Structure formats: C-alpha cells, structure tokens
C-alpha cells in the first residue's frame, strides 16, 4: 500500500497459463468479413478457419482500443487496470472494508496510516470470534523441478511401462486467444496433415528411447 511499508498483500495464482484477463471472451477482428465482431468459433478459436484474427477482449475493451491510435487490439492498459481494481475490490469486500471514504485513492485503497489503522481495528473486532486472526512467524516456500519422463512403473495388470518425453501436439501451434498462432494451425485439432508433419520434423529433435533396465 502506498505510504505503508509494514503490510504485504499477495495475489497468488496457480496454473496461470489457463487463465486470462480477457473476460469478455474471444471475438473476430476481421474487417470486411461477415463474421467481423462475432464470437470466434467455440471449438477451434478461429475466424474463417484461421486463428490469427481471433482475439480475446478485456472488460474495458472499448477503452483498450486507444492503445495504438485506435487500432484494434490495443495495449489493453484500461482492461489491465480494471482487472487489478476488481481483485483489490474483492479482497476489500472479503475483509469487510468500506470504500466510501476512499473514492479518490488509486484502486479505491485508503492511504498510509488510515489503511493500517482500519486493518488493525478489523482484526481486533473479530479476533477470537471465528473471524480474522493475526498471523505470526516466518513465511517459507519450496520449489522443485521434476523430470517426469522415463519414469518406470507397473500397471494394475503388472505390466511394466515407462513414461515418454514431453511433447506438444499440432494444435499447440494454434496459440491462444490472447496470442494466436500462425499458418493453418488451430486449437483442438486432432488431425495429422502432411505439411504439419514436415514442419514438426524441422523444429523437433529426436530423443532416443531407453529400454527399461
């Protein structure tokens, strides 16, 4: 919080690759085409069978358009700010704080000592009554990289098998509505085309299979 260096708040996310700030959904940005402005194809995130013109829109998409002189797909500053404001508002609501006297502050936050006093009063009021309790002690974390390839184990029928190296399917090249891919790759594609095989041969390297010991 501005002016208060004694309070730390964390907005923790998991599996961020499967989340998006573009809460309005994905739409076709294809001027001159009949599907311009319509939602992208739900099963493939495409517009006219192509992924390049399918883009996600944030909560303030109309204001985002000014990011690059009005060009579609602006920098998204307005939506970025709005997503942050909603996160803070949700936390304040969960903690029972009021924004009525802080409308002029950034993201509705009270400044400096006022916010600190409000937090202390909230904890004191609800302490010992099943509400908020002060947290004491150090904060610790742990992180580890685990190679899951080549792991040998037994199936229920006693057959011994080994996991394969990680691989990405063709549809991975279709990208996402936050950043579309290229060529004719699309999301959800489970077909193997000749040209895709040729391309994958040039960008992938082969890993020799090690037989079980």
CA distance 141 to 15: 17
Mean pLDDT confidence for 8-25: 73
The one catalytic residue in 20, 44, 105, 200 is 20
pLDDT tens digits, one per residue of 61-97: 888 765 444 444 456 788 888 888 888 888 777 777 6
CA 46 to each of CA 49, 52, 63, 131, 196: distance values in angstroms, whole numbers, following the listed order: 5, 7, 24, 48, 18
| Report field, pTM of the whole predicted structure over 0.75 | no
Q: How do residues 118-157 score in pLDDT, each as one tens digit?
A: 656 665 665 544 456 667 888 788 888 888 888 899 999 9
Catalytic site residue 200?
no
Q: Do residues 54 and 47 lie in contact, with contact meaning Cβ atoms separated by under 8 Å?
A: yes
- Contact between 7 and 40 (Cβ < 8 Å): no
């Amino acid at each position: 919080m501005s002016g208060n260096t004694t309070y730390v708040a964390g907005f923790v996310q998991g599996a961020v690759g499967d989340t998006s700030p573009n809460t309005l959904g994905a739409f076709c940005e294809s001027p001159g085409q009949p599907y311009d402005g319509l939602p992208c194809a739900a099963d493939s995130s495409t517009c006219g069978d192509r992924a390049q013109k399918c883009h996600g829109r944030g909560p303030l998409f109309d204001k985002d358009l000014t990011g690059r002189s009005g060009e579609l797909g602006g920098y998204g500053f307005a939506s970025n700010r709005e997503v942050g404001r909603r996160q803070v508002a949700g936390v304040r609501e969960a903690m029972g704080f009021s924004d009525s006297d802080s409308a002029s502050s950034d993201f509705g936050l009270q400044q400096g000592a006022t916010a600190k006093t409000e937090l202390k009063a909230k904890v004191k009021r609800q302490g010992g009554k099943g509400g908020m309790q002060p947290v004491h002690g150090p904060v610790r974390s742990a992180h580890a990289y685990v190679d899951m390839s080549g792991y040998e184990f037994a199936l229920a029928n006693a057959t011994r098998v080994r996991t394969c190296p990680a691989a990405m399917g063709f549809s991975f090249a279709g990208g996402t509505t936050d950043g579309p891919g290229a060529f004719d790759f699309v999301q959800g594609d489970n077909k193997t085309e000749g040209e895709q095989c040729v391309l994958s041969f040039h960008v992938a390297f082969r890993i020799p299979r090690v037989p079980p010991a």
